Structure 1
Amino acid sequence: MTRSVLRYVTHRITQHPDTDVTYEAECLRCDWKAGPSEDGAAVDLECMRHTGRAGHQSFRRVCASLALVVRAE
């Protein structure tokens, strides 16, 4: 008979310490895009400027980061 030993290890997920969050946005009515930036407020300002110029009010915003999973101790 074969026996197995099960060990459960608790993990946690966190933002990778050597990276930053990147923000992006794109207009839902045309092909306009705000390029990637580490400053979310700057991307929001670009969206507001696009609204002022084109009258478009809907944007898809993305916040991306690199995650790191480590054992919780």
Structure 2
Amino acid sequence: MARTVLRFVTHRIAQHPDTDVTYEAECLHCKWKAESSTDSAAVDVECMSHTGMSNHRGFRRICTAFAMVVRADEDKPSA
């Protein structure tokens, strides 16, 4: 009869070390889109400029990050 050994390892999720968070926005009233950026404030300024020129006030904001699941006891995630 075979025996099975079960081990439980604690994991955590972490941002991938080789990537940045990217911010985007698109207008809900037309096809306008802000240029993607790693600076959220720059995207917000583009949205406000679009509002000033078009009076469109609704935007869908998108924040994209890449993540990895790693063992909780690891110091740094490896790619």
TM-score bucket (shorter structure): over 0.9
Q: How far, CA to CA, are the matches of 1:61 and 1:6 in structure 2?
A: 43
Question: 1:6 deviation in Å?
Answer: 1.5
Q: What 5-or-longer segments of structure 1 have no aligned partner?
A: none
Q: How far, CA to CA, are the matches of 1:5 and 1:66 in structure 2?
A: 33
Q: How far, CA to CA, are the matches of 2:49 and 2:35 in structure 1?
A: 14
User: TM-score normalised to the size of structure 2?
Assistant: 0.86
Count, aligned residues: 73
Q: Secondary structure at the match of 1:6?
A: coil
Q: What 5-or-longer segments of structure 2 have no aligned partner?
A: 74-79
Q: How far, CA to CA, are the matches of 2:48 and 2:20 in structure 1?
A: 24
What is the match of residue 67 of structure 1?
A: 67
Alignment RMSD = 1.0
What is the match of residue 32 of structure 1?
A: 32
What is the match of residue 8 of structure 2?
A: 8
Normalized per residue, the structure richer in strand is 1
User: TM-score normalised to the size of structure 1?
Assistant: 0.92
Q: Secondary structure at the match of 2:35?
A: strand
Report the residue type matching 1:38 in the other structure. T
Identical columns (%) = 68
Q: How far, CA to CA, are the matches of 1:6 and 1:62 in structure 2?
A: 40
Question: 1:60 deviation in Å?
Answer: 0.3
Report the residue type matching 1:24 in the other structure. E
Q: Secondary structure at the match of 1:36?
A: coil
What is the match of residue 43 of structure 1?
A: 43
